[in-house]
Chains A and B, each alone.
Chain A
Amino acid sequence: MSWSEHLIAVPVVLPLASGALMLLLDEQRLALKAAISVTSVFALLAAALLLAMLAEAPIGRVYALGDWPAPFGIVLVADRLAAVMVLLATVLGLAAMLFSLARWHRAGPRFHSLVQFMLMGLNGAFLTGDLFNLFVFFELLLTASYGLALYGSGTPRVRASLHYIVINLTASLFFLVGVSLLYGVTGTLNMADLALRIPAVDPADRVLVEAGAAVLGIAFLVKAGMWPLCFWLPSTYAAASAPAAALFSILSKVGLYAVLRLWLLFFGAGVGGELLLYGGMATLAFGIIAVLASQELGRLAGYSLLVSSGTLLTAIGIGNAAVTGAALYYLVVSTLGIAALFLLIELVQRSRGPGADMLAVTAEAFGLEAEEEPEEEPGVAIPGTMALLGLSFGCCALLVAGLPPLPGFVAKFALLAAVLDPAPIALTAWSLLALLSLSGLASIIAMARAGVRIFWASEERSVPRVRVIEMAPIAALLALCLVLTAAAGPAMRYLQDAAHALHTPAAYTDRVLSPQ
C-alpha cells in the first residue's frame, strides 16, 4: 500500500488527534492551542485538496479499515462527491477558525477541540461506506455541534439549543429505527451491499425496506431542514455564535448529502422522488415568505439556508444526472455564500451591541477579564471599515440571491438550463423556474432592505472595530466564490462527473465490493 492509499483516513484521523491533544492542554494556553488547531486545519485542507484531485471518475478510492474486505469490514469511500464535501467542510472550518482567533475562541473553554471534533464527524460522515458508521459519525458531529451551538452561553443560545438538541436526539432515534429495519430485512449495513440486496428483496418484505428507508429519510430531512421539519433551524442558527453558525451552514448539507447518496444508491431515483420534489418546493415556498418576513439579520441568513435546502431537495427529487450536477455546484456556492454571510452579520451587528454584551458577560463568567480586553486591543483595525463591510454584504446578497457576476447566478442558470432541457417541459420544471426566480427576488429585496438600514440609514452609530483576521476569512470565502465563477467550466465538469457516478450505482458497488 502506498502512502496515497492511506490519505482517505487522514480527514478523520487528523482532526481527532489534534482535538484530543488540545483537550489535554491547560485552558490558559490559548496561543498554543490556536497554533495547533490552525496548523491541523491547514494540513487537513492540503489532504482534502489532494483527495479531491486523486478522486478519479467514475468512482474514487476505497479504503478498507483494518484491511477487512468490504461487506464485512467498514470501508471509507472517497468518490468525487465525498471529496468535494470534505473539501467544503474543511474550507468552512478554516474560515470559522481564523475568524474566531480575533475574539470568539476566548469566550469559553474548548472551542478549538469542538471545531476539530465537528470536522472529524463531518468528514467521517462524508467518507464512510457503512450505514451504522454513518450514524456514529452523525452523532459525533451533532454532539460537537451541541457544544458549538451553546458556545458563548447566554439565555437565547441555551433556549435555542435546548430545542435543537431535543429535535436532533429524536431524529437520531428515527435514524436507528431506519437502520435496524433495513438490517433486519437485508442482513447487511454496507451501503454498496445494501444497494445490491435491496432490489433482490422478496416482494413481501419490500414494504419493510421502503418503510425503513422512509424512517431513515426523516432523520436526514430533519437535518436538511425540509418543511415541515425545519422550524428549529433558523432560531438555532441565529442564536449561535458567528463562527459556529458559519460551520453550521454545512450541517444541513450533511442531511442533503445523505439523502442524495443513499436514495440514488438504494432506489436509483425511484421510490420517494415525488416526496423530495414536492417537499423541496414547499420548503422553497416557505423560505421565500420567511426571508421576506424576517426582521433580524441572523434569521434572514437562517431562512436563506432553508431556501438553499429547498432548491437542492427539489433538484435532487427531479432525479436527473444533469440536474444533480448543477445542484452540486449550487450546493458548494450557496454554502460558501451563507457561511460568509453568517460571519459578516456578527461584524455588522457589533456596533449594535447584543453580541458584544454577551461576550463581555461570558468573559466575566469564565474569569477571563484579566486577559487583554478585546475592545482596547491595539490589533490592526481596517480603515474604511464600513465601506468594506458594505461591499462584502453586497457580495453576499448577490451570491445568495443568485445575480451575476457571482457564481450564485451561474449555479441557478445551470440548474434551470438542466431542468428545462427536455423538449416537453414538465409542470414541475415550470414551477421550479417560478420558485427559483421568486426566491432570488425575495432574497434581494430582503437583503437590500437590511443593507439600507445598516449602511445607509443616517442614524448615529459607532463604526464597528473590525480586525484583519476577522475580515480575511470573509474576503477569502467571497474570493473563492469569484474563483468558482471564473473556473465555472472545470468545476461544473468535475461535479457533473460526480453526479453521473451517483446516478450509476453499479460502478460504486463494483468498486467497493470487488477485492482490490
Chain B
Amino acid sequence: MELILSLGIGVLAGSGVWLLLRPRTFQVIMGLSLLSYAVNLFIFFMGWVRGGAAPVVQAGAAVDFGRFADPLPQALVLTAIVIAFATTALLLVVLLAARGLTGTDHVDGRESGE
C-alpha cells in the first residue's frame, strides 16, 4: 500500500514538474493540477494509511488509537483541494485573457523565436 502510494505521488509530481516547465500555458495548468494532486495525496498520506480497521469505538472496550487514521490531515486536504480548485479556475481565466491579448499561448506572451 505504502509503495503504491509513494510511486503514485512520485509519478504525479514528476509529470507535474515536467509539464510545469513546458512553454505552453495549457501544459502549465495541467502540470499545476497534477502537482496539486500529488501534494494532496502526500498530505493524506501523512495521516497514515491502514486497511481493515473500521473507525468505530465500542463502548466500554479499551481503545487503541494507533489503529485509526488521523482525521486532521483529511480535513487539511479538503481545505487544500478547495483552495487549489478556486485558484485553478482563476488561472484558467487569466490564461484565456493572455491568449486573447497576446494572440499566443506561450507563457511569455510571445514565441521564443521572436
Contact = CB atoms under 8 A, between A and B. Distances in A.
Counting chain B CB atoms within 10 Å of each CB, which of A150, A173, A179, A187 scores highest?
A173
Contact of A158 (B42, B72, B84, B98): B98
A197 to B, nearest CB: 15
Given A180-B43, A181-B46, A183-B46, A146 B109 contact: no
B97 interface: yes
Interface in B32-56: 32, 35-36, 39, 42-43, 46
A132 B76 contact: yes
Interface string B79-107: 11001101100110011011001100001
A180 B46 CA distance: 7
A327 B90 CA distance: 36
B87 A143 contact: yes
B32 A170 contact: yes
A507 interface: no
Given A136-B79, A173-B35, A173-B36, A183 B73 contact: yes
B5 to A, nearest CB: 13
Contacts of B46: 180-181, 183-184
A453 interface: no
**Chain A interface residue bracket vs B:** 20 to 34
A158 B106 CA distance: 13
Query: Main SS of the interface on chain A?
Result: helix
B107 A158 contact: no
A350 interface: no
Contacts of A159: 98, 101-102, 108-109
Contacts of A165: 87, 90-91, 94
B20 interface: yes
A50 interface: no
B102 A155 contact: yes
A168 B101 CA distance: 22
B72 A183 contact: yes
A150 B70 CA distance: 40
B94 A161 contact: yes
A169 B98 contact: no
Query: Main SS of the interface on chain B?
Result: helix
A170 B43 contact: no
A56 interface: no
Contacts of A173: 32, 35-36, 39
Contacts of A170: 20, 32, 35
A264 B86 CA distance: 33
A457 interface: no
B104 to A, nearest CB: 10
A176 B32 contact: no
B35 A180 contact: no
Interface in A126-181: 132, 136, 139, 143, 146, 150, 153-155, 158-159, 161-163, 165-166, 169-170, 172-173, 176-177, 179-181
B32 A166 contact: yes
A72 to B, nearest CB: 10
Interface in A312-360: none
Interface residues of B, number: 31
A162 B79 contact: no
Contact of A162 (B20, B73, B86, B107): B107
A180 B35 CA distance: 15
Contacts of A150: 94, 97
Counting chain B CB atoms within 10 Å of each CB, which of A150, A154, A158, A187 scores highest?
A158
A183 B25 CA distance: 34
B28 interface: yes
Interface in A101-142: 132, 136, 139
Contacts of A189: 72
Contacts of A139: 83, 87
Nearest to A153: B97
Interface in A262-290: none
A183 B80 CA distance: 15
Given A153-B97, A181-B46, A169 B76 contact: no
B90 A143 contact: yes
B11 to A, nearest CB: 16
Contacts of B84: 169
A136 B90 contact: no
Interface in A85-109: none
Nearest to A168: B87
B94 A162 contact: yes
A158 B95 CA distance: 9
B37 to A, nearest CB: 10
A35 B46 CA distance: 48
Contacts of A180: 39, 42-43, 46, 73, 76
Contacts of A172: 83, 87
A166 B33 CA distance: 11
21 contacts: A136-B83, A139-B87, A143-B90, A153-B97, A158-B98, A159-B109, A162-B94, A162-B109, A163-B107, A165-B87, A166-B20, A166-B32, A166-B91, A170-B20, A170-B35, A172-B83, A173-B39, A177-B39, A179-B76, A180-B43, A181-B46
Given A163-B107, A176-B39, 11 more contacts: A155-B101, A158-B98, A159-B101, A159-B109, A173-B35, A173-B36, A177-B42, A179-B43, A180-B39, A180-B46, A187-B70
Interface of A: 132, 136, 139, 143, 146, 150, 153-155, 158-159, 161-163, 165-166, 169-170, 172-173, 176-177, 179-181, 183-184, 187, 189
When A and B form their complex, which 6 residue pairs have the shortest distance between CB atoms, in order from nearest? A184-B46, A159-B109, A180-B43, A180-B46, A155-B101, A173-B39
